[in-house]
A and B are shown apart, each in its own frame.
Chain A
């Protein structure tokens, strides 16, 4: 019995390969997931975001302003999206529809030519310091040299340091560029996504794998009752996680909480429900717990990487941004960062809750549809 064990080892290896081949879905996922991820993330992820949407509030539009705007466009970091008045520029910044607001004061050109070094104000949505950092350095370089070619003759004296204009940068919402302020609220969304999807995906698959589903279905309890009954305890678990993370964010990381925590808790409900619905759908499709785990992961990774949690959302190519808009986490990140860091109220929150609600409705419909089919 204690002879060379290589044939026994081989027997196990052969058996594993047979079983691997038989479970087509798992096998497909082992090959397909890395491939999709490689292509998806390889092309989508970019930690040096360019073409950041920028609104301009122009009090003056003389030749030096035109030169500056052209220079900003040419740098590749700014996409000038249009002229706004001051209040709507503020709102656009709060909603996150623009990353920067550039304000040129009235009489800029005259002060510029007089050599008064007029101020240019660049307000940046700095909730994610990584998203704005490179663009801010680019504009700083720009302001010190963009007019050099025009400053000839009598204006030559304006060139050189300290430059003909004074750039003032307001990093709004996270002025000290503390990464934790951005990451910790984001983590709440990430943790909720991971646990909620995985737990429900496993909860119903386990029931089927252990054979208890048959018993459950032979009793007069309806499919929807089973599904909702399984979800409710985890909504509670989700809220415990929310409470823990919020407490830690405040006590340990000192994350500011400018907006209403009650609003955040209310918005979290839809987000948690959307993730649970995904889990239920997975558990209806998966034939075993391993598959359920793989599906959860397949959902979790792009949520993490394409939502703007790990890498700046605006750094991704447009197609990847559209894909990112699908995931509830993308919108929840905007909600929680908006409420905690920007002090956003109900309206900007509702704007982001819309896509989450749509996602929830679709996921639930698919989940219930698939669940019924498996009865017969």
Chain B
């Protein structure tokens, strides 16, 4: 089966600043691909190029089988794009918004499709409410419903769950997995680690470059990061003493524990040996995705500085 997204060397710069730098990405059909990276890393720009909102400066490849540089009209017809900021009409009702989208796509059985999509996304009872009066979770449902109206083959979701409560987030991910099971491909950006772990594959973008990609396990293994966890009193003192020591690259407090990570396991162990004092419990743990991401974030050069 052809991949839904298969692009190579995608590049985009604004005013001489490279925002997306030779990104190559391949996403299989029916896959949920998570796009992670700090703010300003180029995730949104990359997505906008995929759906034809921006023209790429360079690169080649296909999106849904169409040349992504020249086929943006065909691509737009089969892509659902959910913007980072709620971008439907707040002074129109749920149904009016969906009707508008259905008309733009020229859906033949508009009334029927709108009714079905509202049912599927639990919006039926709120069809007469103004979109502007909906809470964050419901706005997100409306946006997802609007993206799904025309039966797209690819969903591009730009931080869809930002500012949404945990219950609504869980419902949202259930919908996404259900849709992917039916063959829909999903490219989603997020800052939440638990969401990254719900993706089939993830990629980490930093300053326009795709630093790593693979399943969560592959990404963690590929980072070569070793992590120790410390629990006990005076973790602040541990942080103060370990900062800057050879082998210690990262000190991250996680509530009552402290994660100490480094690439070289021997140097790392040597560094924490003096801290193994009574009352403080040290444990070697597998690095978490968050450890890996913070490591990636701090070790990638900031070309905007």
- Are A and B bound to each other? yes
Chain B neighbourhood of A213, CB < 8 A: 87
Candidates B54, B90, B104; contact of A219 at CB < 8 Å: B104
A-B contact count (CB 8 A): 39
**In contact, B76 and A210 (Cβ under 8 angstroms):** no
**In contact, A210 and B104 (Cβ under 8 angstroms):** no
A49→B52 CA distance, assembly (Å): 58
Contact flags B265-284 to A (C-beta < 8 A → 1, else 0): 00000000000000000000
A217 sits at the interface (CB 8 A) = yes
Known: A220-B77, A376-B54, A376-B55. Contact between A214 and B87, CB under 8 A? yes
Residue of A nearest to B12 (CB): A376
Residue of A nearest to B74 (CB): A220
A218 sits at the interface (CB 8 A) = yes
B101 sits at the interface (CB 8 A) = yes
**Distance between B145 CB and nearest chain A CB, rounded to angstroms:** 13
A219→B53 CA distance, assembly (Å): 9
Chain B neighbourhood of A221, CB < 8 A: 104
B215 sits at the interface (CB 8 A) = no
**In contact, B88 and A212 (Cβ under 8 angstroms):** yes
**In contact, A218 and B89 (Cβ under 8 angstroms):** no
A211→B54 CA distance, assembly (Å): 16
Candidates B52, B73, B85, B101; contact of A211 at CB < 8 Å: B85
**Distance between A286 CB and nearest chain B CB, rounded to angstroms:** 19
**In contact, A215 and B87 (Cβ under 8 angstroms):** yes
**Distance between A273 CB and nearest chain B CB, rounded to angstroms:** 24
B33 sits at the interface (CB 8 A) = no
B83 sits at the interface (CB 8 A) = yes
**Distance between A300 CB and nearest chain B CB, rounded to angstroms:** 26
Chain B neighbourhood of A210, CB < 8 A: 87, 90
A45→B231 CA distance, assembly (Å): 83
B186 sits at the interface (CB 8 A) = no
Interface size class of A (residues with CB under 8 A): 10 to 19
Chain A neighbourhood of B219, CB < 8 A: none
Contact flags B84-109 to A (C-beta < 8 A → 1, else 0): 01111110000000000100110000
Chain B, interface SS category: loop
Residue of B nearest to A222 (CB): B73
A218→B85 CA distance, assembly (Å): 14
Residue of A nearest to B77 (CB): A220
**Distance between A349 CB and nearest chain B CB, rounded to angstroms:** 38
B51 sits at the interface (CB 8 A) = yes
Residues 51 to 66 of chain B near chain A (Cβ within 8 Å): 51-55
**Distance between B305 CB and nearest chain A CB, rounded to angstroms:** 23
Known: A214-B53, A376-B54. Contact between A220 and B76, CB under 8 A? yes
A219→B87 CA distance, assembly (Å): 12
A212→B90 CA distance, assembly (Å): 9
Residues 97 to 130 of chain B near chain A (Cβ within 8 Å): 101, 104-105
Residues 194 to 238 of chain A near chain B (Cβ within 8 Å): 210-215, 217-221
B81 sits at the interface (CB 8 A) = yes
**In contact, B105 and A219 (Cβ under 8 angstroms):** yes
Chain A neighbourhood of B73, CB < 8 A: 220
**Distance between B6 CB and nearest chain A CB, rounded to angstroms:** 21
**In contact, A218 and B54 (Cβ under 8 angstroms):** no
A215→B86 CA distance, assembly (Å): 9
Residue of A nearest to B76 (CB): A220
Chain A neighbourhood of B79, CB < 8 A: 218
Residue of B nearest to A225 (CB): B104
Residue of A nearest to B73 (CB): A220
**Distance between B177 CB and nearest chain A CB, rounded to angstroms:** 24
**In contact, A220 and B105 (Cβ under 8 angstroms):** yes
**In contact, B55 and A218 (Cβ under 8 angstroms):** no
**In contact, B104 and A220 (Cβ under 8 angstroms):** yes
A58→B76 CA distance, assembly (Å): 73
A210→B79 CA distance, assembly (Å): 22
A215→B53 CA distance, assembly (Å): 9
Candidates A211, A212, A218, A375; contact of B81 at CB < 8 Å: A218
Known: A210-B90, A220-B105. Contact between A215 and B76, CB under 8 A? no
Chain A neighbourhood of B87, CB < 8 A: 210-215
A210→B101 CA distance, assembly (Å): 17
A215→B88 CA distance, assembly (Å): 7
Chain A neighbourhood of B89, CB < 8 A: 212
**Distance between A223 CB and nearest chain B CB, rounded to angstroms:** 12
**In contact, A211 and B104 (Cβ under 8 angstroms):** no
Candidates B83, B101, B104; contact of A214 at CB < 8 Å: B83
A210→B76 CA distance, assembly (Å): 22
B53, B73, B87, B88: which has the most chain A beta carbons within 10 Å? B87
**In contact, A217 and B101 (Cβ under 8 angstroms):** no
**In contact, A218 and B51 (Cβ under 8 angstroms):** yes
Residues 361 to 376 of chain A near chain B (Cβ within 8 Å): 375-376
Chain A neighbourhood of B104, CB < 8 A: 219-221
**Distance between B95 CB and nearest chain A CB, rounded to angstroms:** 17
Chain B neighbourhood of A220, CB < 8 A: 73, 76-77, 104-105
Residue of B nearest to A375 (CB): B53
**In contact, B76 and A211 (Cβ under 8 angstroms):** no
A220→B103 CA distance, assembly (Å): 11
Candidates A215, A375, A376; contact of B83 at CB < 8 Å: A215
Residues 145 to 189 of chain A near chain B (Cβ within 8 Å): none
Chain A neighbourhood of B83, CB < 8 A: 211, 214-215, 218
A220→B73 CA distance, assembly (Å): 6
A220→B81 CA distance, assembly (Å): 11
**Distance between A250 CB and nearest chain B CB, rounded to angstroms:** 37
Contact flags B33-70 to A (C-beta < 8 A → 1, else 0): 00000000000000000011111000000000000000
Residue of B nearest to A218 (CB): B81
Chain A neighbourhood of B54, CB < 8 A: 376
Residue of A nearest to B103 (CB): A221
A219→B52 CA distance, assembly (Å): 9
**Distance between B84 CB and nearest chain A CB, rounded to angstroms:** 9
Q: Which residues of A contact B (CB under 8 A)?
A: 210-215, 217-221, 375-376
Show 17 residue pairs from A and B whose CB-CB distance is below 8 angstroms, ordered by the A residue.
Answer: A210-B87, A211-B83, A211-B86, A212-B89, A213-B87, A214-B85, A215-B81, A215-B88, A218-B52, A218-B53, A218-B76, A219-B76, A219-B101, A220-B77, A220-B105, A375-B53, A376-B54
**Beyond known contacts A210-B87, A210-B90, A218-B52: 4 more, CB 8 A cutoff:** A211-B87, A218-B53, A218-B79, A218-B81
